[in-house]
Structure 1
Amino acid sequence: MKNVAVMGGAFDPIHEDHITVARLCLQRGFCDEVWFMPSPDRWDKTLNASPDDRFAMLELVTSDEPRFILSDLEIQQGDFRGSYVFLMSLKEKFPNTDFRLLVGADSYGNIPHWRDPLHFYGTEYNGHLLLRDIGLIVFARNGYPKPDVAEHLAKGYAPLYWLGAEEGFVGKYSSTQIRKDLWRNRNEKPAGLDPKVYRYIIENDLYRA
């Protein structure tokens, strides 16, 4: 089976840490391909750029690596359904593919509380199902601990792979900070933003305060 790491998220905008994590996953043999899956507009989170613009910015920085696959499948899904529902739909659509979810250490501890946003006010948590059914590739985030892999596996969860300093990854950038930098000064490219993406942002008048 082909191993695919799914990197989902808003990518609002895409930055260098996203690309570094994806390249390291390939280099470490954690996957054969990385699929970038930008999310649709979400009722639970304010997104600043449209799905089309976020997709276009991703295209600018993923087209040079054939093992980076850019997909609009989650955008085309329409309603934002969360990671578990979407990943189950991928497994059904691509039965010969082993999907692994790329997630930051800041999100790892909250996964048991994840649920389908269409049932957000109910008790239909599905994060424990995701942990059971989908392997994880967890990357380091400042201020958050490395997951205890042995404890993770002892709970009957799917495999977990770690990307931290010892594997060559130290996260430095965030989309939130990049947007703040652009609001303060549009005449200077924020750290961590690819020049092609910066040019697209300016030309399309994105992230203006």
Structure 2
Amino acid sequence: MKIGIFGGTFNPIHNGHLLVAREIYQAGELDQIWFMPACLPPHKNLAAQVSFADRLAMVRAAIEPCPEFVACDLEGRRGGRSFSVKTLQELRQLYPADEFTFIMGLDSFAEIGLWRSYEQLFDLCHILVAARPGFAGDLQELLPVAMADRFCYDADALKLCGKSGFSVQLVRQTAADISSTEIRNRIAAGQLVDEWICPAVATYIHQHKLYRHSPAG
């Protein structure tokens, strides 16, 4: 099975996340997409002190109508800092027959050289980089210098092919200017966010009184 791993804090999950996942799935490359909420993201503080359990519950509520989407609690069960390399290593051990593709935004890929043991990530899975339609840069130029000689560009497939057998591919996505930070700020101010999150997530936030006191972060 070909599985896409879509990680993030999902604090909260919003329509922009779902749009990216639907477009990637509909491209026909994957059998499922697993939403992977981070337990403790290593590169930023988790705003509003919303628990992993609440963020996972919101993901489950948002994707419930979509059988091709799966909520994965692996990083919450493991606990501690959520390092992508460690997650992919564990997934490879648990599901050796499956093929994984790590989904990330262009901004994150541009900073991947700062990630812990990032070199190993290129040997564990395919990487799919989601960029806005206007992006006209060269994906190869964004590779860390240490990785440059391990990839060559396949112009026909529009992807970087690595010596490990895994690839890095750019996929242009529909622009969706939705910010989790802005959603939290608006909820804290008592404003409506119905156009940015699905009804099931809005109901969960209301019932559990999330984001009412700490909009920053």
- Asked if Structure 1 and Structure 2 have the same fold, meaning a TM-score greater than 0.5 normalized by the shorter chain, the answer is yes
CA offsets, 1:37-59, max 9 Å, x none? 11113475224311111111111
What TM-score, normalized to structure 2?
A: 0.80
Alignment of 1:43-82 (within 5 A): 44-48=44-48, 49-82=50-83
Say whether residues 1:155 and 2:150 are aligned partners: yes
TM-score, normalised to structure 1, is 0.83
CA distance in 1, matches of 2:132, 2:17: 12
**1:172 aligns to what?**
177
Paired residue type of 2:184: R
Q: Which moved more, 1:71-80 or 1:35-44?
A: 35-44
RMSD of aligned residue pairs (Cα, Å): 2.4
How far 1:133 sits from its partner (Å)? 3.0
Aligned-pair distance for 1:141?
5.3
Quote the sequence identity (%): 29
> Match for residue 100 of structure 1?
101
Deviation at 1:142, TM superposition (A): 9.3
Match of 2:205 in 1: 201
Residues in 1 aligned to 2:41 and 2:149: alpha-carbon distance in whole angstroms = 34
Q: Secondary structure at the match of 1:133?
A: coil
Q: Residue 140 of structure 1 contacts residue 171 of structure 1 at CA under 8 Å; is this kept in 2?
A: no
**3-state SS of paired residue (1:4):** strand
Q: 1:196, CA displacement in angstroms? A: 1.8
Q: Take 1:42 and 1:132, find their aligned partners in 2: how far apart are those partners?
A: 22
Separation in structure 2 between the aligned mates of residue 184 and residue 74 of structure 1, nearest angstrom: 31
Q: What are the Cα deviations for residues 143-179 of structure 1, in whole angstroms up to 9, with x where unaligned?
A: 97655259858633431232324xxx21321211111
One-letter amino acid of the counterpart of residue 6, structure 1: I
Return the alpha-carbon distance in structure 1 between the equivalents of residues 175 and 132 of structure 2.
Answer: 8
Contact 2:40/2:81 (8 A) holds in 1: yes
Shift of residue 85 of structure 1?
Answer: 0.9
Name the CA shift for 1:93/1:81 in 2 (closer, same or farther; >3 Å): same
Residues 176-207 of structure 1: per-residue CA shift (max 9 Å, x gap)? 11111212224x22541112211211121100
Structure 1 counterpart of 2:126, from 118, 126, 135: 135
The amino acid across from 1:160 in the alignment is: V
Does the 8 Å contact 1:30/1:161 carry over to 2?
Answer: no
Distance 2:138 2:91 in 1: 26
Structure 2: stretches of 5+ with no match in the other structure: 152-161
Q: CA separation in 2, counterparts of 1:82 and 1:145?
A: 30
Residues 181 and 190 of structure 1 are in contact (CA less than 8 Å); yes or no, is this contact kept in structure 2? Answer: no
2:20 aligns with 21
* Matching residue of 2:193: 189
